[in-house]
Amino acid sequence: MKIRYPFLKPNIPKLAQMLPDLQEVYRNGCFTNMGPFERLLTAKIGECLDGMGVAVVSNCTAGLMLGLRATVNGKRREVLVPSYTFVATVSAIDWVGLMPLFADVDALSWQMDPSHEKDILKRKDKIGAVLLCNTFGSPSDVESWREIARRLDVPLLIDSAAGFGGQYGDGTRQGTKGTAEFFSMHATKPFAVGEGGIVASQDADLIARIEDMKNFGLNRERISQFPGLNAKLTEFQAIIGLHSLRQLPSSVERRRAAAARYRHCLRGFAFQEKGEFSTYPFFPALSPIGKDRDRIIRHAAARAVQLRDYYAKPVHAQPFGRRFPKLNGLPVTNRLAQRAVCLPMYDDIGENDIEAISRVVNEA
C-alpha cells in the first residue's frame, strides 16, 4: 500500500540553491578539516544562540561523548539521565566509561522530574553529572535542575537534540543554558544537514577543548593533549547547514501552526506541557485512557498513515539498558511508554492533511 501520509520528510534545502557553494568546495579543494564553510556555519549558529560559544561536530552522539569526557572528572562516575529518551544519549554515557543512572520523568512535561531532589542528593558521592533531555524538542525545567546540579557540584548538560530553533519557558533560546547544550542536525530534525551535531556553551575554554577533541585531541601545533575523536563536520554538511539555517524560522512557525491544529482536531488525547516551545520534529501525544495505542497505530497504517510509538521501549527496558541502576523506579516513564503516539509532521503539511490524519486516529 502506498503511504499517503509519511511520518517524516527530510527538510533539506533544494540542490539548486546550494549548487554555487558546492562548486566552490571543488574549486578550493577543501572538503573537510574545519574549512571556510564549517567556520561560517559555526559563526552563524553562534549568532542564532545570542553569542554562545559553538563547536559543530559530525553528529550529536559524538558531541555528547566529547562533552561528557571534557566535563565529568574524578571518582563520581554516575550520570543522572532519563530512560524516556533515545538510546544514543545513554550510549554516549556508556562509551566514555561512565554509568547511566535512570531517573523518572514528570507526567505533564515528560521531562526528567526534579521533585526527586532529596533522593538524588543522597547519591552526591556518586553522581558526576546531570544530563537533561529536552524530549521531543520541548524544554525542561532547567532552573530547578541548575540548583540541583549546583548542590551536587556537577556540570549540567542538556541534550536538546531536536530543539534547535526552540525556546525555554522564559522565552530564551534552547542552547543558551547549562554547562553545555547539544543539538542534532540529523535528517529527521527540523534543522537538518543529514548527519551533524552542535555543542553550545558559555564556557569558551570548554568549546576550545571540544574543538581540539573533535580533531583527534590535536592542538593548534598539532600536538595531542588528550584523547579525542574524529568528529569533524565536512564542508558539504556545513553548506547544507547554512542554507537550512535560513529556512528554519519559517519552518518552525509552520510546524507550530500545524501542532495547534492537531491539538484542536484530536479527541481525548493529552499533550506535552510546554510543547508550544518545541520545534516539532513530529507531533507527540498520549492516547486516550482506555484506548490501545498499538491498535491506533495499526489502524492508521491500514489507512496509509504512518504513526510512531516513541518511546515504547524506554532505554531501561531494552537489553542494552537493563544493567544500569534506576532511581526510585520509573512508574511515569513506564506509563508514558504505553500511551505515547507520534503523528506526522513536515514543513508542507496542510490543514486538510492534519484533519484527515486526525479523523483516522480519532476513529481507531
Cβ-contact 180, 71 below 8 angstroms: yes
Q: What is the pLDDT of residue 149?
A: 98
Report the alpha-carbon distance of residue 56 to residue 36 in Å, rounded: 13
Distant-in-sequence, close-in-space partners of 351: CB < 8 Å, separation ≥ 6: 261
Q: How far is CA 150 from CA 40, 43, 315, in A?
A: 35, 30, 27
R_g of the chain, CA atoms, integer Å:
21
Grade residue 267 by pLDDT with cuts at 50, 70 and 90. Answer: very high
pLDDT, tens digit (0-9, with 9 covering 90-100), for 271-322? 999 999 999 999 999 999 999 999 999 999 999 999 999 999 999 999 999 9
SS3 342: strand
pLDDT, tens digit (0-9, with 9 covering 90-100), for 180-212? 999 999 999 999 999 999 999 999 999 999 999
Distant-in-sequence, close-in-space partners of 273: CB < 8 Å, separation ≥ 6: 106, 108, 109, 110, 138
SS3 99: strand
Residue type, 321: G
Enter the pTM of the model.
0.95
Report the alpha-carbon distance of residue 149 to residue 76 in Å, rounded: 13
Pairing label, strands 340-343, 283-286: antiparallel
pLDDT at 11 over 90: no
Q: Quickly tell me which residue has 569526557 as its cell.
A: 69
Determine what percent of the chain falls in helix, strand and coil, rounding each to the nearest 5. Answer: 40, 15, 40
Report the alpha-carbon distance of residue 30 to residue 41 in Å, rounded: 15
Region at 243 (left for phi over 0; alpha for psi -120 to 50; beta for the rest): alpha
Report the alpha-carbon distance of residue 22 to residue 16 in Å, rounded: 10
Report CA 324 to chain centroid distance, whole Å: 22
Domains and CATH numbers, the chain: 15-242 (3.40.640.10), 247-363 (3.90.1150.10)
pLDDT at 346 over 90: yes
Closest CA to 67 of 187, 206, 176: 206
Give me the percent of the chain exceeding a pLDDT of 90: 94
Mean pLDDT of 256-285: 97
Q: What is the pLDDT of residue 40?
A: 98
Closest CA to 262 of 284, 293, 295: 284
Report CA 271 to chain centroid distance, whole Å: 19
